[in-house]
Structure 1
Amino acid sequence: MRALLWIVLAATAIWTGYWWVGSSQIESGVKAWIAAQPPGMVSASSVEVHGIPNRFDLTVSDIVVSDPRRGVTVSSPFVQIYAMAWKPWHVIAALPSGQVITLPDQKVTVTSDSIRASLQLHPSTALALNELVGEAHGVKLGSDAGWTLGFDTALASAAEDATRPNSYRLGLRVANIAPDPVMVQALAATDLPHIVEAVVVDAHAVLTAALNRNAAQTKPQLMALEIADAQINWGALRFSAKGTLTAGPDGLAEGEIALRIEGWKRLPPILVALGLIKPDVAPTVERMLGIVAQQGGDLEVLQIKLICKDGGMVLGPLPLGPAPRMRNMSGA
């Protein structure tokens, strides 16, 4: 019996020592990382680790992350990151309500019921990404420029696709989006509801390198984006897309995305409400879209392709300008 007691005490001492060593390394590592950033990039009022004996609970208070070159700053009252002591490769992060995003022309405040993320890495020396899942509930964005945007729930994920190298499955679902009231008022003449029911994306991304602990050196870039399904459901307006874009020799996107829009006649008023076109141009846009719909054989459904080719991008017969850059060929 006495031997068993000594074994228990020794195991407890070893485990406690492991926790203290681990927590000290986490705390000093985070402080060192903050201190190593260029002046004005990252700051925090305190870094603390609690949770003895079974968890590492990291709290970084009053954190501010800035990009002075772009004039963007993000601040949060705190960030909390949790990990079980016996499974440090699986961490959970949480944000409180009250983030502030400062842009060159406005300041956006983010309030929420909850924002959480779960990160699972492979337990190996490379610490490669296994799965990343983020979820948010009761989110509202309010800008001092006068607009608001909210949604009930959002779920985003990125998971390793083990069947292909450097490939990750991407998912997104946002439910019950409340557009800015000014936009809703501008659309009062349409039959669109005040809430966008859902935005859904199912896609694959193929990168130039794996997402792991060496990503800062290998700098993974996008090689291909395969959209299996993308949808926006807003009352009678139904939007869907699928297709593939790949990075060409110059790093610009090549490929095509097939778009299908049911209830497309509601698009011109939306474009006007968003300030993308002027009201007097809306009838012309509607006539052009009607011609495209007629070519598809169904006047109620608009089927059109977004094509990226030879450095340019066109939507059906309409040129949109240069194709988006997917990969920086300079390697910087």
Structure 2
Amino acid sequence: MKRLLAVIVIAAALWSGYWYIAQRGARAGIESWFDARRAEGWQAEYKELATQGFPNRIDTTLTDPVLADPESGLAWTAPMFKLFALSYQPNHIIAVWPETQVLSTPTARYEISSADMRASLVMQPAPQLPLERANLISDALAIEGPGGTTTMEGLQIAILRQEGGESYHLGLNADGYAPPLPRGLTLRTGGTLPQKLSSLRADLELGFDKPIDLTALSEARPQPRRIKVTLAEAKWGQLELALAGTLDIDDLGRPKGQITIKARNWRDMLELARQMDLLPAEWLNPVEQALGLAAQLNGNTRTLDLPLTFNRTTISLGPIPIGPAPIIRLR
């Protein structure tokens, strides 16, 4: 009995020492990451850093964190941010966001509120912790920006790294998605839009020039090299839009490939895009003319089923050029 008690005491002491070392390592890692960002010119601050969770977890809480990258112009602030990990599995992290947070871009400021936003991240046990898989969920999400407030009853995003490369499978589903509607919105086909979309989902495969890991924030962003859209779908009342296709992107961010567009009541979609400032004004007339001609050729003036072709520098809808191609790069 004495020997058993001695073994238990020694094991407990060893585990306590291990937890203390792991906790100190986690804390030092976060502190050094913030120090490195400040050395690069970021605003990277927090009011307090606390770790607890003995004996099986390492729970870290950052109070009043602020991150601002001067190069991209992105900034994020929140009253707190929490990270949870099992002490014996530190490469699996649960991240928890507060009920309110603020995201700023070079052009806008967004106040985000949610009932429960959290993510599970599993990284490979390598120095730069390349992402293996992640899931993000949120309930009762509201995003208030310059154009109004967008709400969702629920948001689910999942990403999984594909074997043998820098490709990731991405799935997204937004339940009860309700964007802000312009006042006095009128549809060309008559009627009104319901407040919420009945479906908003996407199934993609994204290829990058390097894995998504810690250097994505501290150094160069992974740049997209291939976007394969298995299906992206939105249904909003009488409006239905579906996309599928593949784009290859060169080192300059210029896309080449084809995305097939299926759109029902496309004129109402254009009118909605015009009133919500979703399309550059100079695009509206040429796009509508091209779509009208294409719809006539298909024999159905309300429904489109056409390839959108990207040729590095230009975009064509069917055989009709409609404008310059965008540059696809992550800042």
Distance in structure 2 (CA, Å) of the matches to 1:265 and 1:82: 49
Q: Does 1:320 align with 2:331?
A: no
TM-score, reference length from structure 1 = 0.87
Matches within 5 A, 1:227-238: 227-238=229-240
Instruction: Report if aligned partners of 2:290, 2:322 keep a CA contact under 8 Å in 1.
Output: no
Q: Does 1:186 align with 2:189?
A: no
Matches within 5 A, 1:142-153: 142-143=144-145, 145=146, 147-153=148-154
Deviation of the 1:212 alpha carbon: 4.2
Describe the superposition over 1:155-198 as per-residue Cα deviations: whole angstroms up to 9, x where unpaired.
11210112x422211111112111214x2642475332111122
- Identify if the C-alpha distance between structure 1 residues 252 and 110 changes in structure 2 by more than 3 Å, giving closer, same or farther: same
**Secondary structure of the equivalent of 1:290?**
helix
Deviation of the 1:249 alpha carbon: 6.2
Describe the superposition over 1:197-217 as per-residue Cα deviations: whole angstroms up to 9, x where unpaired.
221111111222233456667
Partner of 1:17: 17
- Identify if the C-alpha distance between structure 1 residues 240 and 208 changes in structure 2 by more than 3 Å, giving closer, same or farther: same
Deviation of the 1:59 alpha carbon: 0.5
Describe the superposition over 1:56-115 as per-residue Cα deviations: whole angstroms up to 9, x where unpaired.
001111011113355442110011000111211110001011112234555321111111
Q: Answer with 89-98 or 257-266: which moved more.
A: 257-266
Instruction: Report if aligned partners of 2:257, 2:311 keep a CA contact under 8 Å in 1.
Output: yes
Instruction: Report if aligned partners of 2:121, 2:135 keep a CA contact under 8 Å in 1.
Output: yes
TM-score, reference length from structure 2 = 0.87
Distance in structure 2 (CA, Å) of the matches to 1:23 and 1:34: 17
Instruction: Report if aligned partners of 1:197, 1:233 keep a CA contact under 8 Å in 2.
Output: yes
Task: Tell me the matched-pair count.
Answer: 324
Distance in structure 2 (CA, Å) of the matches to 1:113 and 1:305: 40
Matches within 5 A, 1:117-196: 117-123=119-125, 127-143=129-145, 145=146, 147-162=148-163, 164-181=164-181, 183=182, 185-187=184-186, 190-196=191-197
Instruction: Report if aligned partners of 2:133, 2:159 keep a CA contact under 8 Å in 1.
Output: yes
Question: Residue 228 of structure 2 aligns to which amino acid in structure 1?
Answer: E
Partner of 1:35: 35
**Secondary structure of the equivalent of 1:6?**
helix
Partner of 2:206: 205
**Secondary structure of the equivalent of 2:79?**
strand
Distance in structure 2 (CA, Å) of the matches to 1:82 and 1:262: 46
For the aligned residue pairs, the C-alpha RMSD in angstroms reads 2.9
* Structure 2: gaps spanning 5 or more residues: none
Distance in structure 1 (CA, Å) of the matches to 2:108 and 2:285: 33
Distance in structure 1 (CA, Å) of the matches to 2:157 and 2:300: 34
**Secondary structure of the equivalent of 1:172?**
strand
Partner of 1:295: 297
Distance in structure 1 (CA, Å) of the matches to 2:106 and 2:329: 25
